[in-house]
Amino acid sequence: MLFEKFAKQAIASGRFAPLDQTYVMNKVRALVGDADVDDDQRPVVDQLVDLAVQRKKIDDGPTAREILSDQLYDLLTPTPAAVNAMFWNKYVESPQTATNWFYQLCTTNNYVKASAIKRNIEFTKRVQDGNQLEITINLSKPEKDPKAIAAAAHAKGKKYPQCALCMENEGYLGRLDHAARSNHRIIRMMIGGKQWGFQYSPYAYFNEHCIFLDAKHEPMKINQQTLINLVEIEKQLPHYFVGSNADLPIVGGSMLAHEHYQGGKHVFPMMKAKLRQSISFTDYPDVTAGIVDWPMSDLRLISNNELALINLGTHIINSWDHYSDDQLQIKADDGATRHHTVTPIMHRNGDQFVLDLVLRDNNTSDQYPLGIFHPHEELWHIKKENIGLIEVMGRAILPSRLKDELAEVKKFWLGQDNQIADSHLPWAKAVQARREITAANVDEVLQEEVAQVFSDVLADAGVFKNDDAGNAGWQRFIDQL
């Protein structure tokens, strides 16, 4: 029956031995109630959660269901110590063997929500500048539980865990205002002489989307140590890229309070972009450098001399930190408030380290209150949120609202009854005026035009535009380097 089937899965996972079968079955009974049925072919855990609702062991709400589901999957997962031992044993064979095993574990135990991720809409299109951009409409993350929203509004005092990235999330039961993490596992590793953690992202935005997190809850910072850390990660996991969100609001990510990086097994559009201008640094003959042909402002450094790469990268970061150009509204600081940082991204090409340093500026103005180098208002109908690490590299993470809204745009273009949003109307009319749109090509047109908007979003976020004024600005910055 269902309990016995679950117990056998738990034993097969390595968490328990055959002698533990009755023990595991009783653990499950305590969580879901005594009735033991097996009436369909759905995953065992889903059936057990439904049983718990029927037996009134839990409320029939998304938070309660998630907490119980993760408790059950925890019983199908080896302990953190066992997971770490297995990972590093497999690492001896090869880094990729170790990550393959760990990723499979995290999908099998439903920490990585593979079935939810499959709901995302994804496509790749070439835009006017010749680059191919990746577009995703994120449908995987569940809607907020209304009870959770209310609980968060009334929460007071210091929280445990401090944030969603802290080590103490490993095995945490969860609550209305904090995600369940009973089945969460973190690999411990040394980076920059400190303990860090390596885990996968539950709602991955690309293949094997992972997170590297400082064991201590400390704010994000971009400096020489960042580059040292990225090199050390690449030496340990050379088949993954790794990068950091910027460490300032507007141009940074959503987790500025906890030092962390993102990585994974994915080749992003920016990584494929070529250099459009080479730069020679006399003091660093071992480093190939240049400006990348990309909508955002990216300096690329390539070398198998990691020390030279780190030192030149640090020089660029420190120079940009204090660099201003009034002609282009680029301003380094307002007294005590700095406005400049970089988004650093690293990957390997054989024995060479490839470091992209994307220059960021978070200044605002009366004309651009959300950011001068942020998506401008005419693009907000598609993308209004901050441009973080993943999008810098050419993969758009667009809001779920667009699934239904863009369906109405297609109806508008085809002359059908529609409820097109006012925010999309000027764009839809402009596209319609310059393109012949039919039922046969409407999907293709929509994808191409959304990709072009995303390209324009990235261009807005670039500090040196791809025009004469921007090229002159690039040259001024390079000259002072």
d(C-alpha 241, C-alpha 250), whole Å: 24
For residues 111 and 202, is the Cβ–Cβ distance under 8 A? yes
Q: CA 257 from chain center: how many Å?
A: 16
Residue 312: its pLDDT value, please? 98
The tokens describing 401, both together, are 């609202």
Closest residue by Cα to residue 254 from 391, 423, 430, 348 = 391
**DSSP strand pairing (132-137 vs 395-398):** parallel
SS3 at position 323? coil
For residues 58 and 180, is the Cβ–Cβ distance under 8 A? no
Residue 379 DSSP code: G
Closest residue by Cα to residue 110 from 39, 29, 204 = 204
- Bridge partner residues of 338 (DSSP): 333
The tokens describing 463, both together, are 């500090």
Residue 145: its pLDDT value, please? 60
For residues 40 and 47, is the Cβ–Cβ distance under 8 A? yes
- Bridge partner residues of 358 (DSSP): 298, 343
pTM for the full model?
0.94
Closest residue by Cα to residue 321 from 330, 309, 310 = 330
The tokens describing 276, both together, are 């459009």
Residue 255: its pLDDT value, please? 87
For residues 421 and 428, is the Cβ–Cβ distance under 8 A? no
For residues 45 and 51, is the Cβ–Cβ distance under 8 A? no
Amino acid at 398: L
Q: How crowded is residue 177: how many other Cβ atoms within 10 Å of its Cβ?
A: 18
Can you state the angle between helices 21-32 and 62-74, rounded to 10 degrees? 170
Q: Rounded to a whole number, what is the distance in angstroms from the first to the last CA of the chain?
A: 70
Can you state the angle between helices 62-74 and 44-54, rounded to 10 degrees? 130
- Separation in Å, CA 338 to CA 24, 331, 364, 384: 56, 9, 12, 23
Residue 153: its pLDDT value, please? 54
Residue 37: its pLDDT value, please? 75
Residue 252: its pLDDT value, please? 77
Per-residue pLDDT of the chain (481 residues; tens, 9 = 90+): 899 999 999 999 999 999 999 999 999 999 999 876 766 778 999 999 999 999 999 999 999 999 999 999 999 999 999 999 999 999 999 999 999 999 999 999 999 998 889 999 999 999 999 999 999 999 987 665 666 656 555 666 678 999 999 999 999 999 988 999 999 999 999 999 999 999 999 999 999 999 999 999 999 999 999 999 999 999 999 999 999 999 999 997 778 999 999 999 999 999 999 999 999 999 999 999 999 999 999 999 999 999 999 999 999 999 999 999 999 999 999 988 999 999 999 999 999 999 999 999 999 999 999 999 999 999 999 999 999 999 999 999 999 999 999 999 999 999 999 999 999 999 999 999 999 999 999 999 999 999 999 999 999 999 999 999 999 999 999 999 9
d(C-alpha 79, C-alpha 439), whole Å: 54
For residues 360 and 341, is the Cβ–Cβ distance under 8 A? yes
Residue 115: its pLDDT value, please? 86
Helices (H), 382-441: 389-392, 401-413, 425-434
**DSSP strand pairing (288-292 vs 298-303):** antiparallel
Q: How crowded is residue 425: how many other Cβ atoms within 10 Å of its Cβ?
A: 13
Amino acid at 415: G
The tokens describing 78, both together, are 């080896």
Dihedral sign, Cα of residue 348, residue 373, residue 332, residue 471? positive
Over residues 320-364, the pLDDT tens digits come to 999 999 999 999 999 889 999 999 999 999 999 999 999 999 999
Over residues 295-324, the pLDDT tens digits come to 999 999 999 999 999 999 999 999 999 999
Can you state the angle between helices 21-32 and 2-12, rounded to 10 degrees? 120
Residue 150: its pLDDT value, please? 60
- Bridge partner residues of 353 (DSSP): 303, 348
The tokens describing 8, both together, are 């056998």
